[in-house]
């Protein structure tokens, strides 16, 4: 039994690392995208317009299908596979895809036709200026059809993940991002025509993304058929489970729209700076947390469907501990190095000014708490999705929908300034995390176990690391040419990792020894292969 458990644990670890690698490439190409945007769109007007153009298409995507793809389709299919009912699962998912695709096609068409009217919401009560809105709405005409193909690609990923085919899904988003990079590099510029040509290239990129994802998973995806039966009982069951996830996902995007509305009330470049900060804090979140939840969800759904509650609780506990072990020091590092990190990533030419970097760094500092709280939210949300309880995440999302703009308004009225936006987001996510944990832990059989000591040790190691890093940053600031700046920051990052892991080992943290042993075993395996 122990040997079998170790094999499962090793397989999950390998899958997690594989997904992490894919997410690292995706995040890396995403950063290149933002760098090239800052270089090609030399005017803040066009940077803001390009950033704003994505918000409403993304909102429609999340409202209709975004979160439901992985968080309901993958667990449902995983549960069907766990009890040997693959045909039932395939049929239900086929109906789900068929119905959602028809609805999405209609919505994309309407969004393209009425884009200007949709973007007028940003002009309410003296919000974003008319010129920015006009440019954003024109650029979005290519982004509405884009989300249809993104949806199809994401559906492919959700189905393949239920089969634990993580190698087939890990690098598709990177290919999409590379195509987007090429589109921005070839077409972007500070004119209306170049702006629209850029989003047109992004539309083509989404088509390439879908074709790639379908082709690499063809052996499984060929089972999917067009079955338009919206009254089918199994489809209705899956759809009812998906509705709260859809709404909760759309709430996240609504908060992005709200934040951009508030950002538009500050200086030019604030919308783009807010995006820069959001992208940076989501590096550790997007690589570690998303990888953990991606691998955890289908496995936990199988455990729950098979009534293996102890295994489900142990899996959630290990993923939460691993996530916190990575997220707490990441938040500490970003808090100490916020300005240097922004400059290292985005300041590759004089077109990205010190003021641009300062604007993004201010936002980034306010996000540091959210790095931890949002990571816990993601893991716990996916635990709810895996067991088919989707209403609690919806409730937490609805609370965030009202609390976030309320806190923004209060902080701005008090004169706190632009950082109000990210502080409000952090406070809101703290409230949401607390609510989710309270509700989830009511079921003692599934509740995470032995978390307190791990959390205390993580914070202790991270605080010591942050203090030493702060001293080193004052003694050796990241100055000079770009290569020298990057070298100094990389050395500080390596030193921070060594210090944190060293303290964690002294505190006898299993997470540290586990990841070090996994790293060594991989190196040993590669060395053996070469010899």
DSSP per residue over 348-401, as a string? SSTTS-HHHHHHHHHHHHHTHHHHHHHHHHHHHHHHHHHTT--HHHHHHHHHHH
Tell me, what's the pLDDT at 3?
Answer: 45
Q: Which position has the higher pLDDT, 248 or 173?
A: 173
Question: Whose CA is closest to 297, among 321, 282, 315?
Answer: 315
Distance CA(481)–CA(141), nearest Å, equals 41
More confident: 136 or 14: 136
Q: How confident is the model at residue 8 (pLDDT cuts 50, 70, 90)?
A: very low
Q: Is residue 111 part of a domain?
A: yes
Q: How far apart are CA 223 and CA 2, in angstroms?
A: 36
Distance CA 78, CA 135 (A): 44
Residues 6+ apart with CB under 8 A from 281: 334, 364, 367, 368, 370, 371
CA distance 399 to 435: 10
- 97-111, 161-175, 369-383: range with lowest mean pLDDT: 161-175
Does residue 457 have a pLDDT over 70? yes
313 alpha carbon, distance to own chain's centre: 24
Residue 345: per-residue pLDDT: 80
pLDDT at 369: 92
- What's the token pair of residue 440? 């989830």
Contacts of 454 (CB under 8 A, 6+ apart): 321, 324, 325, 509, 511
> Which segment, 52-66, 271-285, 389-403, 457-471, is predicted with the most confidence on average?
457-471
Give, in order, the Cα–Cα distances in Å from 187 to each of 52, 198, 215, 361. 18, 5, 28, 29
In a domain, 502, yes or no: no
> Among the listed ranges 133-142, 163-172, 281-290, 307-316, which one has the minimum average pLDDT value?
163-172
The pLDDT of 428-438, averaged and rounded, is: 93
Q: What spatial distance separates the first Cα and last Cα of the chain, rounded to whole Å?
A: 34
Q: Evaluate whether residue 214 is within a structural domain.
A: yes
* Any domain includes 65: yes
Angle subtended by helix axes 192-216 and 44-53, to nearest 10: 40
What does the block give as tokens for 503?
Answer: 């303290």
Sign of the four-CA dihedral 200, 201, 205, 207: positive
> Does 470 fall in a domain?
no
Q: How many domains does the chain have?
A: 1
Are the CB atoms for 173 and 20 separated by under 8 Å? Answer: no
Instruction: Classify residue 213: in a domain, yes or no.
Output: yes
Whether 516 is in a domain gets the answer no
Distance CA 154, CA 432 (A): 26
Structure confidence by residue, pLDDT tens digits, 268-286: 778 888 888 888 888 888 7
Does residue 115 register a pLDDT over 90? Answer: no
pLDDT at 522 over 60: no
Alpha-carbon gap, residue 146 to 210, rounded angstroms: 10
HEC secondary structure over 277-336 = HHHHHHHHHHHHHHHHHHHHHHHHHHHHHCCCHHHHHHHHHHHHHHHHHHHHHHHHHHHH
Domain containing 229 equals 2-449
Is position 463 within any domain? no
CA angle (148, 40, 489) in 5-degree steps: 100
Residues with Cβ within 8 Å of residue 489, at least 6 apart in sequence: 337, 340, 341, 344, 478
Residue with tokens 């290292």: 344
Distance CA 311, CA 68 (A): 25
CA distances from 235 to 70, 72, 75, 152 (A): 16, 12, 14, 18
230-269 per-position pLDDT tens digit: 888 888 888 887 777 777 766 766 777 777 778 777 777 7
What is the CA 165 to chain-centroid distance, rounded?
Answer: 20
């Amino acid at each position: 039994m122990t040997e079998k458990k170790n094999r499962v644990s090793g397989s999950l670890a390998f899958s997690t690392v594989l997904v992490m690698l894919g997410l690292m490439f995706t995040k890396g190409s995403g950063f290149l995208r933002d760098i090239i945007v800052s270089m090609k769109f030399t005017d803040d007007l066009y940077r803001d317009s390009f950033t704003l153009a994505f918000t409403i298409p993304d909102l429609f995507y999340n409202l209709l299908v975004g979160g439901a793809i992985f968080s309901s389709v993958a667990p449902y299919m995983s549960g069907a596979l766990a009890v040997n009912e693959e045909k039932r699962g395939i049929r239900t998912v086929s109906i789900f895809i068929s119905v959602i695709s028809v609805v999405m096609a209609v919505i994309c068409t309407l969004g393209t036709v009425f884009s200007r009217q949709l973007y007028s919401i940003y002009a309410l009560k003296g919000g974003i200026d008319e010129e920015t809105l006009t440019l954003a709405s024109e650029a979005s005409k290519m982004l509405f059809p884009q989300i249809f193909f993104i949806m199809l690609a994401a559906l492919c990923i959700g189905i393949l993940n239920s089969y634990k085919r993580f190698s087939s899904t890990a690098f598709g988003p990177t290919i999409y991002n590379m195509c987007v990079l090429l589109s921005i590099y070839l077409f972007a510029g500070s004119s209306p025509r170049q702006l629209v040509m850029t989003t047109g290239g992004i539309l083509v990129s989404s088509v390439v993304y879908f074709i790639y994802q379908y082709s690499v998973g063809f052996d499984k995806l060929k089972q999917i058929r067009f079955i338009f039966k919206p009254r089918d009982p199994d489809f209705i069951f899956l759809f009812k489970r998906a509705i709260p996830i859809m709404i909760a996902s759309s709430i996240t995007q609504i908060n992005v729209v709200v934040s951009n509305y508030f950002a538009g009330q500050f200086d030019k470049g604030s919308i783009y700076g807010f995006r820069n900060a959001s992208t940076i804090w989501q590096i550790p979140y997007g690589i570690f947390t998303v990888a953990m939840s991606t691998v955890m969800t289908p496995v936990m759904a199988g455990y729950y469907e098979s009534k293996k509650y102890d295994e489900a609780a142990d899996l959630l506990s290990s993923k939460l501990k691993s996530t916190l072990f990575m997220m707490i020091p990441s938040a500490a590092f970003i808090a100490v190095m916020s300005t240097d990190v922004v400059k290292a990533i985005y300041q590759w030419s004089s077109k990205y000014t010190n003021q641009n970097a300062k604007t993004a760094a201010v936002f980034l500092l306010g996000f540091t708490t959210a790095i931890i709280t949002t990571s816990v939210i993601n893991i716990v949300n996916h635990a709810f999705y895996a067991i088919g309880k989707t209403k609690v995440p919806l409730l937490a999302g609805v609370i965030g929908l009202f609390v976030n703009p309320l806190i923004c308004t209060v902080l701005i009225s008090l004169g706190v300034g632009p950082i109000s936006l990210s502080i409000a987001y952090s406070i809101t996510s703290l409230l949401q995390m607390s609510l989710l944990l309270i509700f989830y832990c009511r079921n003692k059989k599934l509740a995470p176990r032995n978390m307190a000591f791990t959390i205390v040790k993580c914070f202790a190691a991270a605080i010591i690391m942050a203090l030493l890093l702060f001293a080193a940053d004052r003694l050796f600031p990241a100055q000079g040419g770009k290569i020298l700046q990057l070298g100094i920051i990389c050395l500080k990052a390596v030193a921070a990792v060594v210090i944190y892991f060293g303290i964690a080992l002294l505190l006898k943290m299993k997470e540290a020894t586990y990841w070090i042993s996994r790293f060594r075993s991989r190196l040993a395996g590669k060395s053996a292969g070469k010899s």
